[in-house]
Amino acid sequence: MALLEIKNLTVEFDTPGGVVHAVNDLNYSVEAGETLGVVGESGSGKSVHILALLGLLPCPPGRIVSGEAWFDGRNLMALSDRDLRSIRGGEIGMVFQDPMSSLNPVLTVGRQLKEVLTRHTNLTGRALKARMVELLDIVGIPHPEARLSQYPHEFSGGMRQRVMIAIGMACNPRLLIADEATTALDVTVQAQILDLVRQLKHDFGTTVIWITHDMGVVAELADTIQVMYGGRIMERGPVRPVFHDPRSAYTWGLLNSLPDEGARTQRRLYQIPGSPPDMSNPPPGDPFAPRNPFATERCHREVPPLRDVGNMPGHKVAAWYDLPALLAAQSEKEQTP
Amino acid sequence: MTQPPVIEVNGLMRSYGGGRTLLGREKPVIHAINDVSFQIAEGETLGLVGESGSGKSTTGRAVLHLERPDAGSVRFRGTELSTLGQQGLKPYRKHMQMIFQDPYSALNPRMKVGRFVGEPLVVHGVDSGSSLQDRVAELFKLVGLDPSFMSRYPHEFSGGQRQRINIARAIALQPGFIVADEPITALDVSIQAQIVNLFQDLQDQLGLAYLFIAHDLSMVRYLCQWVAVMLRGRIVEMAPTEQIFADPRHPYTRSLLAAIPVPDPDRVRPDRPPFDVAANVPPREAPLIEVAPDHFVLDHQVQ
């Protein structure tokens, strides 16, 4: 059963340079217990659509043109601020990229944890304190009891991000949304945080939306990958078929531009040409068409719908072309002199 | 190492703090880097990796003498830099350049990018007038930018293009050595490969040597002939790239390599050996020992 279902979400920004089309008619759902990895670069709409459905989008300049986000039978987009506040931090936990700006520097970490817990649970007194200690302990912060009375500046970057995860997980959320939560961290700390999220999924069956630009993190953590570009979904499906048999030229390009694991075999990395699109003046058709060496005339003209592809259920692509056929033709051409 | 070294660093030290505060309290001394030594051959790349705060950037700045090291020696093509004054350093600054992580804040927002790229040529009195314009246009082409962009301002460019502009300025004086401090970290994924390829092309064409400071170990493996791993201000392991990936000896290197996320869902995740940095601060006195040809490990926890 879908825990979250997003329907026809369109978000725009009014800027001096014109209207920025940040999210364009987005539709997808996340099943209960699933981990969805959302991949994209700047202008892909991966962060904006999440802020919009959580009611955290600054409006203006943002504007939600249309859309519904059904979470457990309630349309988040239609709820009052008050109702939304009781869901955020409670049933839906959030972890954002920059722990220093998400934590209040003049309040102790304990006070900030307490705020979330008293808002969303009935815990008081000794039980509340015990839960706070337990949470810091779960995220692997040593000496949790002493740490509660410390301020954010007394924590290292990795420890602060753990505090953010502790706050995000405080009320055993049914849905945890993390936006580039480990991007600023060292790889060793990132690995610990990923282990921790896996543990939480295992223990509590938490549903997770993990937004990142790192294909490696998605491969490790996610069941389903969703590749976004130009405010649209380019490809989506279970991680194995998407990584092994990508059908969007953008996904293919992203995977190919990573260095091979193992000894250096390539002289040059594959590079996707061009730059991310200017969403105040988006291309009329497939947003990736201007950078796509395989683009057909139709790609430049008409936005492709998301269609089923391959053998695995749930694997979908938005493309007018047939990538495997094009790649096969290309390698044939390279082999015949 | 077949080529002669372009840079030889020996026993480099840099600390911050010390002295007293306004109220007379003693400020603690923090040893940002301690006894750092390495060489980079002409036309080669050394990757410098380690956690944030391990002293990677300080090392880069101290090597270029953007920050005076407290002790130690830096030789550029055989000339000792540490004993030179500001005036004495100036001719060497031409040959050693730096590229920063954030391509936007490194640019001057009010200066047309053509002038920005040509500025080092003017400052060092290398070029002026119409030959300067020609040289800047040539630099733009070299980094893959249309020379007609010269009269634009930084805000008109994307992140990848801005980094190309910074690179054009860094190579304007035909340096032999460039310190690149996390030069692709702030860029979009689809742009990172473009910039890494540009680094390679420029190395091939101009014979540049790089000190490539990074935390993306898979890019380091791809781009660098040598890797040095830093922990709390010290190099704890250094070796040819494939050697260090095949046979890491220091426990910190091992934990670092095991933590790289691999973009393959079928890959079984290796067990991650726990490594407590705080409990494993490398001692200030321990020497690097050669455990295999060209493979150096700090002698406090060799495995």
pLDDT confidence of residue B17: 78
Q: How many domains does chain A have?
A: 1
Contacts with B, A 7-66, CB within 8 Å:
41-42
Q: How far apart are CA A155 and CA B40, in angstroms?
A: 36
Task: Tell whether B13 is covered by a domain.
Answer: yes
- Judged by DSSP in three states, B300 sits in coil
Question: How many contacts (CB atoms, under 8 Å) link A and B?
Answer: 111
Q: How many domains does chain B have?
A: 1
Contacts with B, A 66-105, CB within 8 Å:
none
Give the confidence band of A265 by pLDDT, cuts at 50, 70, 90: low
Of A220, A240, A276, the CB nearest to B190: A276
Question: Can you read off the two tokens belonging to residue B179?
Answer: 């310190």
Smallest CA-to-CA distance from B277 within B221, B226, B236 is with B236
Q: How far apart are CA B99 and CA B182, in angstroms?
A: 8
Which residues does residue B299 pair with via DSSP β-bridges, in sequence order? Answer: none
Instruction: Tell me what the mean pLDDT of segment A79-98 comes to.
Output: 88
Task: Tell whether A188 is covered by a domain.
Answer: yes
pLDDT at residue B195 greater than cutoff 80: yes
Q: Is A187 on the interface with B (CB under 8 A)?
A: yes
pLDDT at residue B287 greater than cutoff 70: yes
pLDDT confidence of residue A276: 84
Task: Tell whether A6 is covered by a domain.
Answer: no
Contacts with B, A 241-300, CB within 8 Å:
243-244, 250, 253-255, 257-261, 263-264, 266-273, 275-276, 291
Task: Tell whether B28 is covered by a domain.
Answer: yes
Task: Tell whether A162 is covered by a domain.
Answer: yes
Q: Do A276 and B260 touch (CB under 8 A)?
A: no
Q: Do B263 and A219 touch (CB under 8 A)?
A: yes
Q: Which residue has the higher pLDDT, B188 or B276?
A: B188
Q: Which residues of A touch B266 (CB under 8 A)?
A: 240, 244
Give the confidence band of A331 by pLDDT, cuts at 50, 70, 90: confident
Residue of B nearest to A191 (CA): B259
- Judged by DSSP in three states, B18 sits in coil
Task: Tell whether B199 is covered by a domain.
Answer: no
pLDDT confidence of residue B216: 80
Question: Can you read off the two tokens belonging to residue A219?
Answer: 């491969």
Give the confidence band of A262 by pLDDT, cuts at 50, 70, 90: low
Of B192, B259, B263, the CB nearest to A190: B259
For a pLDDT cut of 70, what percent of chain A falls above it? Answer: 97
Dihedral angle computed from the Cα positions of residues A116, A122, A126 and A132, in that order, rounded to the nearest 10 degrees: -30
Q: Which residue has the higher pLDDT, B211 or A267?
A: B211
Q: Which residues of A touch B272 (CB under 8 A)?
A: 191-192, 195
Q: Is A223 on the interface with B (CB under 8 A)?
A: no
Residue of B nearest to A253 (CA): B190
Residue of B nearest to A243 (CA): B264
Instruction: Tell me what the mean pLDDT of segment B130-143 comes to.
Output: 92
pLDDT confidence of residue B220: 92
Averaged pLDDT score across all residues of chain B: 89
Look at the alpha carbons of A166, A95, B259, B300 in this order and tell me if their dihedral is positive or negative: negative
How far does the CA of residue B20 sit from the closest CA of chain A (Å)? Answer: 22
Task: Tell whether B267 is covered by a domain.
Answer: yes
Q: How far apart are CA A268 and CA A256, in angstroms?
A: 11
Q: Which residue has the higher pLDDT, B109 or B284?
A: B109
Which residues does residue A66 pair with via DSSP β-bridges, in sequence order? Answer: A10
Q: How far apart are CA A57 and CA A179, in angstroms?
A: 14
Q: Which residue has the higher pLDDT, B250 or B271?
A: B250
Instruction: Tell me what the mean pLDDT of segment A207-230 comes to.
Output: 95
Please state the φ and ψ torsions of residue A11, each to the nearest 5 degrees. Answer: -125, 135
Task: Tell whether A16 is covered by a domain.
Answer: no
pLDDT confidence of residue B267: 82
How far does the CA of residue B234 sit from the closest CA of chain A (Å)? Answer: 17
How far does the CA of residue A249 sit from the closest CA of chain B (Å)? Answer: 12
For residue B154, give the H/E element and its range.
none
Task: Please work out, in degrees rounded to the nearest 5, the angle formed at the alpha carbon of residue A4 by the alpha carbons of A2 and A9.
Answer: 125
Give the confidence band of B215 by pLDDT, cuts at 50, 70, 90: confident
Please state the φ and ψ torsions of residue B290, each to the nearest 5 degrees. Answer: -90, 110
Task: Tell whether B146 is covered by a domain.
Answer: no
Buried b (16+ CB within 10 A) or exposed e, B143-153: bbbeeebbeee
Q: Do A276 and B158 touch (CB under 8 A)?
A: yes
Task: Tell whether B56 is covered by a domain.
Answer: yes
Q: Do B275 and A213 touch (CB under 8 A)?
A: no
Domain of B14, in residue numbers:
5-95+206-298
pLDDT confidence of residue B72: 93
How far does the CA of residue A303 sit from the closest CA of chain B (Å)? Answer: 21
CATH code for the domain of B54? 3.40.50.300
Instruction: Tell me what the mean pLDDT of segment A281-292 comes to.
Output: 93
pLDDT confidence of residue B296: 94
Instruction: Tell me what the mean pLDDT of segment B123-150 comes to.
Output: 90
Q: Is B185 on the interface with A (CB under 8 A)?
A: no
Q: Do B188 and A214 touch (CB under 8 A)?
A: no
Task: Tell whether B132 is covered by a domain.
Answer: no
Q: Do B261 and A219 touch (CB under 8 A)?
A: yes
Contacts of A20 (CB under 8 A, 6+ apart): A12, A13, A14, A279, A280
pLDDT at residue B278 greater than cutoff 80: no
Q: Is B276 on the interface with A (CB under 8 A)?
A: no
pLDDT confidence of residue B129: 82
Q: Which residues of B touch A279 (CB under 8 A)?
A: none
Q: Is A143 on the interface with B (CB under 8 A)?
A: no
ipTM: 0.83
Please write the tens of the pLDDT for every residue from A174-187.
999 999 888 877 78
Q: Is B95 on the interface with A (CB under 8 A)?
A: no
Q: Is B51 on the interface with A (CB under 8 A)?
A: yes
Of A219, A250, A260, the CB nearest to B265: A219
Task: Please work out, in degrees rounded to the nearest 5, the angle formed at the alpha carbon of residue B245 by the alpha carbons of B236 and B263.
Answer: 120
pLDDT at residue B302 greater than cutoff 60: no
Q: Which residues of B touch A266 (CB under 8 A)?
A: 222
Please write the tens of the pLDDT for every residue from B245-268.
999 999 999 989 988 888 899 887
For residue B275, give the H/E element and its range.
none
Site from A275, A280, A312 to mutate, B interface, most B CB atoms within 10 angstroms: A275
Q: How far apart are CA A139 and CA A129, in angstroms?
A: 16
Instruction: Tell me what the mean pLDDT of segment A55-60 comes to.
Output: 88
Question: Can you read off the two tokens belonging to residue B8?
Answer: 């030889």
pLDDT at residue A57 greater than cutoff 70: yes
CATH code for the domain of A174? 3.40.50.300
Please state the φ and ψ torsions of residue A27, each to the nearest 5 degrees. Answer: -135, 120
Instruction: Tell me what the mean pLDDT of segment B104-115 comes to.
Output: 90
Site from B189, B250, B277 to mutate, A interface, most A CB atoms within 10 angstroms: B189
Give the confidence band of B1 by pLDDT, cuts at 50, 70, 90: low
pLDDT at residue B164 greater than cutoff 70: yes
pLDDT at residue A43 greater than cutoff 70: yes
pLDDT at residue A318 greater than cutoff 70: yes
Please write the tens of the pLDDT for every residue from B141-159.
999 999 999 999 998 888 8
How far does the CA of residue B80 sit from the closest CA of chain A (Å)? Answer: 35
pLDDT at residue A161 greater than cutoff 60: yes
Task: Tell whether A262 is covered by a domain.
Answer: no
Q: Is A190 on the interface with B (CB under 8 A)?
A: yes
Give the confidence band of A337 by pLDDT, cuts at 50, 70, 90: low
pLDDT confidence of residue A13: 93
- φ/ψ region of B43 (left if φ > 0, alpha if ψ in -120 to 50, else beta) reads left
pLDDT confidence of residue A243: 96
Instruction: Tell me what the mean pLDDT of segment B74-86 comes to.
Output: 92
Task: Tell whether A199 is covered by a domain.
Answer: yes
Task: Tell whether A122 is covered by a domain.
Answer: yes
pLDDT at residue A78 greater than cutoff 90: yes
Q: Do B218 and A259 touch (CB under 8 A)?
A: yes
Q: What is the largest CA-CA distance in chain A?
A: 79
Q: Is A239 on the interface with B (CB under 8 A)?
A: yes
Q: How far apart are CA B81 and CA A89, in angstroms?
A: 56
pLDDT at residue A316 greater than cutoff 80: yes
Smallest CA-to-CA distance from A306 within A28, A12, A7 is with A28
Please state the φ and ψ torsions of residue B48, each to the nearest 5 degrees. Answer: -115, 115
Q: Are A310 and A245 in contact (CB under 8 A)?
A: yes
Task: Tell whether B48 is covered by a domain.
Answer: yes
